[in-house]
Amino acid sequence: MRTGPPRTHAQSSALVAAAAALAAVAVLALPQPAGAAESSPIGFGAGTTGGGSAPAVTVSTLDAFRSAVSGDTAKVIRVNGLIPLSGQVDIGSNTTVVGVGSASGFTGGGLRLKEVSNVVVRNLNISKPVAPADGITVQKSTKVWIDHNSFSADREHDKDHYDGLLDINHGSDDVTVSWNTFKDHFKGSLVGHSDNNASEDTGHLKVTYHHNLFSNVYSRIPSLRFGTGHFYNNYVSGADTACHSRMGAQMLVENNVFRSTKIAVTTNRSSDVDGFANLRGNDLGGAATEVSRVGTFTNPPYGYTAEPASSVVASVTSGAGTGKL
């Protein structure tokens, strides 16, 4: 029971206002629920804005899409429906491409980001990219955010029938790959296309992968040559070889979960020069590791929060893929 003189009306009002302010601060301080869509990329791709606040244009045919994504002026393109492709469509700089709903996107081919910058690709279904087309190719490009997409193919064909789901090459830089699903494929995500491309790739190919699901993808999760890769809070299930660091690449593999996977991390396969890797906080689930050279990349040059491996499966399975924006 309160003792002393009664509070004045002004004092009571001030106390109520102060309590409300504290409550508001407390709410703002609460972390976002796992899988809540970020409004901007975390990682090496930070600062990528795409078309920003440019007026959105909705397209539902291939011709309309090709026209809408060309050029380097700021633009936001909404893809409504599933559009068949043969080969790839080139995307201009300063572009956001986003799918409408959970089932819009492309099948049979993919998108190419060549010699461009500041591109966002979100909420697209990209399936069965018949070789030589990748689902998405990032080539000689910078500032790219690949977020909340669903990539898939099948394992019923020869391993070379489809090309990569997401390949990043030719000195590309500052890329974040977040909250995507990659399913039913042989060759997931190749970063650095060749052992013979050191002159172009050394010092580049800086890529962050976080909160992605790789399910029944045989290898290249990712395969990284020459570059610097941060692979954290991903869920890998059903792989033969997952993270592959080669040709002097530096990879930090942090707080991921591996299930039904033969080799979680390797640095000494397929290339003449080994890569480097640092591992911390992972749940390997019985998977082996082959780390011939421990790397020096331990502190990424950006702010991020890696959740513990114990919560990754729940976060990724509920939050990754299309329809979650």
Out of 17-26, 103-112, 129-138, least confident range: 17-26
Q: Is 66 a catalytic residue?
A: no
pLDDT of residue 37: 77
Instruction: In whole angstroms, give the CA distance from residue 237 to residue 243.
Output: 12
CA angle 201/203/207 to nearest 5° reads: 80
Are the C-beta atoms of 233 and 255 separated by less than 8 Å? yes
Contacts of 274 (CB under 8 A, 6+ apart): 245, 246, 248, 267, 268, 292, 293
**What was the pLDDT predicted at 315?**
98
Distance CA 48, CA 119 (A): 7
Section 269-279 average pLDDT: 97
Catalytic residue among 112, 122, 220, 225: 220
Helix (H, G, I), strand (E, B) or coil at 309: helix
44-103 pLDDT, tens per residue? 999 999 999 999 999 999 999 999 999 999 999 999 999 999 999 999 999 999 999 999
Q: What is the pLDDT of residues 177-218, one digit of tens each?
A: 999 999 999 999 999 999 999 999 999 999 999 999 999 999
The two counts, helices (H) then strands (E), for the chain are 4, 25
Judged against a pLDDT cut of 90, whether residue 19 lies above it is answered with no
How buried is residue 100: exposed, middle or buried, by Cβ count under 10 Å (0-12/13-18/19+)?
A: middle
Whether 29 shows a pLDDT value over 60: the answer reads no
Q: How far apart are CA 119 and CA 111, in angstroms?
A: 12
- The pLDDT score that the predictor gives to residue 36 is 56
Under the banding of pLDDT at 50, 70 and 90, the label for residue 24 is very low
Query: What domains does the chain contain, in order, with CATH numbers?
Result: 38-319 (2.160.20.10)
pLDDT, position 303:
97
What confidence category does residue 159 fall into, taking pLDDT thresholds of 50, 70 and 90? Answer: confident
Q: What is the DSSP string of 35-101?
A: TPPPSS--STTTT--TTTTPPEEEE-SHHHHHHHH-SSS-EEEEE-SEEEEEEEEE--SSEEEEEST
CB 135 within 8 A of CB 105: no
CB-CB contact of 167 with 190 (8 Å)? yes
CA distance 179 to 22: 33
